[in-house]
Amino acid sequence: AQTVTQSQPEMSVQEAETVTLSCTYDTSESDYYLFWYKQPPSRQMILVIRQEAYKQQNATENRFSVNFQKAAKSFSLKISDSQLGDAAMYFCAYSSGTYKYIFGTGTRLKVLA
């Protein structure tokens, strides 16, 4: 069965600095998708970035980028120039072939002014 692991329950970063959130997954599939969702205090789940497993190039969305290591089954999120508004829970998610998303347990990011 597929699993998603986020081993960092909480992380802190100084404003304007860079932080990396870790995510590892386990699957026997070769084609799948990986996502990072942000959940601010408002509870709204917001898609930050997604990566197709067949693409070797790492996805980038403005200050957010991923480091996708398919062989290592690792999918980390890098946030550059951290802002106070980046403070939130971040969830890593996996999906393969169907509707089903498998979520990690989340990492709470604190941004220090």
Q: Which residues bind other proteins (CB under 8 A)?
A: 4, 31-33, 35, 37, 42-47, 50, 52, 91, 93, 95-106
Looking up tokens 């969702």 gives: 37
Minimum CB distance to other proteins, residue 108 (Å): 11
Q: What is d(CA 3, CA 61) in angstroms, rounded to the nearest whole number?
A: 25
User: Minimum CB separation from other proteins for residue 103, in Å?
Assistant: 3
3-class state of residue 109 by DSSP: strand
Nearer of residues 68 and 106 to other proteins, judged by Cβ: 106
Number of Cβ atoms within 10 Å of the Cβ of 76: 17
CB-nearer residue toward other proteins: 1 or 71? 1
CB of 14 to other proteins, least distance (A): 27
Residue 43 or 72 having the CB closest to other proteins: 43
User: For residues 82 and 93, which CB has a smaller minimum distance to other proteins in the complex?
Assistant: 93
* Strand bridging mode 19-21 / 74-79: antiparallel
Residues 6 or more apart whose CB falls under 8 angstroms from that of 24 comprise 4, 5, 7, 72, 73, 74, 75
As measured in angstroms, the least distance from the Cβ of 46 to other proteins is: 8
